[in-house]
Amino acid sequence: MPAIVVEGLERAFDEVLAVQGIDLAVQEGEIYGFLGPNGAGKTTTVRMLTTLLLPTGGQATVAGHDVVKEARAVRGTIGVALQEAALDPLMTGRELIRLQATLQGIPTEEGKRRADDLLERVDLSAAADRRVGGYSGGMQRRLDLAAALVHEPRVLFLDEPTTGLDPVSRKTIWEEVRALNDEGTTVFLTTQYLEEADQLADNVGIIDSGRIVAEGTPESLKAEIGHPHVQLTLAEGSVAQAEAICAPLGRLLPPKDGKKVLVEVENGAADIPRVVRALDEAGVAVESLELVRPTLDDVFVEKTGYHLEEESEESAEKEPVEA
Amino acid sequence: MTGLATNLRVVRALGMRSIRQTFRRPQLMAPIVVFPTLLLAIQTGGAGAAIHLPGFPPVQSFLQFMLAGAMMQSLMLAGNSGGIALAVDIEMGFTDRLFSSPIPRFAIVLGRLAGTAALGLFSALWFLAIGLIFGAEIVSGVPGALIAIVLVTACALAVGGIGAAIALRTGSASVVQGLFPLVLVVLFLSSAFFPESLMIQPAQAIAEYNPLSLVVNGIRNPMISGINASDLIDAVLAIAGIVVLGLVLSARALRHRLRVG
């Protein structure tokens, strides 16, 4: 049974259609990666699915409940950690988790026990009685995640859980997401990081300008756009000569930097000896050789015409950061 | 646990958070305690002779007269501070945490108002203590003090409703903070700091119809003259009117916020 079903979901803000009739289904126990640049409609979609924003069209169910007609039932089954960790800097970590337990209707003593367990789980026991305002970004994200788990939700929404975190904190969050998923929690994760979607998601939906432009497993999406290619850097000899030699072995891709020859190979690593042998027999010296597999960025480029991470970096540069 | 009991527990927890937040953020606490106390000290020290003006109600001291005004100022600013704190919650996304929980959304507003009412209670006790320490007599004794405590607490809740409505509608702490001078204007155009009968027009007419004057009179008269049922009923009705207005505006603003996200 799908944990999330979305049909023709739309959200307009005045004249702007931020989400333009998207459809998707997330199976129970799955990690669904919702990938797209800033402003693509990821957060708007999450806010509708978590009942924080009313859709202006279409419908959606979460854990079998309609997000508009049965909003309260939806809220009883979901955990939410939004893009900006929604924490009160004046509260302590322990106070926050206990408050969250109360909001979820968990009896006081049980709430205290779960707060202690969760703080232990996210390695914040030592900082539990310090004010959240003094936590690092990674600690705040872990606390936010712990708060989202206090009622053991069936479906967990994580909106860009690692944006702005250092690599170590990012890996810690990934490990926790994997562990939660192993315990049976369905995870709907938005991200603008290709590696995050690739590492974590069972299925990926790519959203751009409010529309889903591609959907599938990371592997199937990558396979859809082509085979791996061999990237050759020549020690001597011309690119044209090398291309003429490689042409019968696979589809030639546009050369990189004018020096690197790119040959698409159907069988991946198994085709490398053929390429090396052909060049060697023709006396073309190769400085280095690399087998390059398609990435989700290639998929993104294929579907949208631009690179996701460049776009994200540009957007990040453009957006003012609150002091 | 029943739904009602759970909701009451949520309101209590959010009210406690609201109180802790105020005590931990000096800029929220200062307007509730420090400013009204300073104003009370300055006015009673500098304008004490006003009680000898012809037409001034008979009082033991200017401090006795001013206590109700100081309580009123404090509770009004408690309502304003509650609105600012709610707007800060909206700005930093904390209300999203609350709105995505399976509780009636109005419980979130009620939690905030419970906290504001508790601050009103604190304010009433603080100024009663100051009054008694500095020799102000409460003519009707303990019943008069209890009336003051109840009316100040209830009025803080009522004014908090207006502050919450503005916060929910605008989602901006600076907008709510910008109302701070307006609060003082509305107070000065009531009988909080000066008897209506000694005001000149049009201030006197405005003060006469200002519901805050009714509340102030309800708090003050048991302190300076004695309990009067008519004053008390007027004060309760004025507070009830502000409560209804605040709750209606809050409910509308809450719906608006959920519609626009």
* pLDDT tens readout for residues A259-292: 788 888 888 888 888 888 888 888 888 888 888 8
Query: Beta strand A203-208 with A31-35: parallel, antiparallel or unpaired?
Result: parallel
Q: B258 and A52 in contact by Cβ < 8 A?
A: yes
Mutate to test the interface with A, among B2, B100, B257, B258 (most CBs of A within 10 A): B100
Of A72, A82, A108, the CB nearest to B102: A72
Alpha carbon separation from B239 to A36, B29, B101, B109, B142 (Å, rounded): 52, 23, 31, 18, 22
* pLDDT tens readout for residues A115-129: 999 999 888 999 999
* pLDDT tens readout for residues A21-73: 999 999 999 999 998 888 889 999 999 999 999 999 999 999 999 999 999 99
Q: A90 and B24 in contact by Cβ < 8 A?
A: yes
CB-based burial, B122-155: b 16+ in 10 Å, e otherwise: bbbbbbbebbeeeebbbebeeebbebbbbbbbbb
Q: Which of A25-34, A150-159, A231-240, B90-99 has the lowest mean pLDDT?
A: A231-240
Q: A54 and B259 in contact by Cβ < 8 A?
A: yes
Would you tell me which residues 37-56 of chain B have a C-beta closer than 8 angstroms to some C-beta of chain A? Answer: none
The tokens for A59 are 């419908």
Quick check: ipTM above 0.85?
no
Residues in chain B: 261
Domain ranges within chain B, ordered by starting residue: 3-44+56-260
Q: A87 and B94 in contact by Cβ < 8 A?
A: yes
Does B174 contact chain A (CB < 8 Å)? no
Q: Tell me, what's the pLDDT at A222? A: 82
CA distance A116 to chain B (A): 18
Q: Where are the beta strands (DSSP E) in chain B?
A: none
The tokens for A126 are 């030592």
pLDDT profile of chain B (261 residues), mean per 10: 81 91 82 89 82 83 91 91 90 88 88 91 93 88 93 94 92 87 88 85 88 93 89 94 92 84 65
Mutate to test the interface with B, among A16, A90, A109, A110 (most CBs of B within 10 A): A90
Q: A53 and B93 in contact by Cβ < 8 A?
A: no
Does B252 contact chain A (CB < 8 Å)? no
Q: A104 and B101 in contact by Cβ < 8 A?
A: yes
Q: Which helix (H) or strand (E) holds A55?
A: none
pTM exceeding the 0.95 threshold for the entire prediction: no
Domains along chain A with CATH numbers: 2-217 (3.40.50.300), 227-293 (3.30.70.980)
Q: A80 and B21 in contact by Cβ < 8 A?
A: no
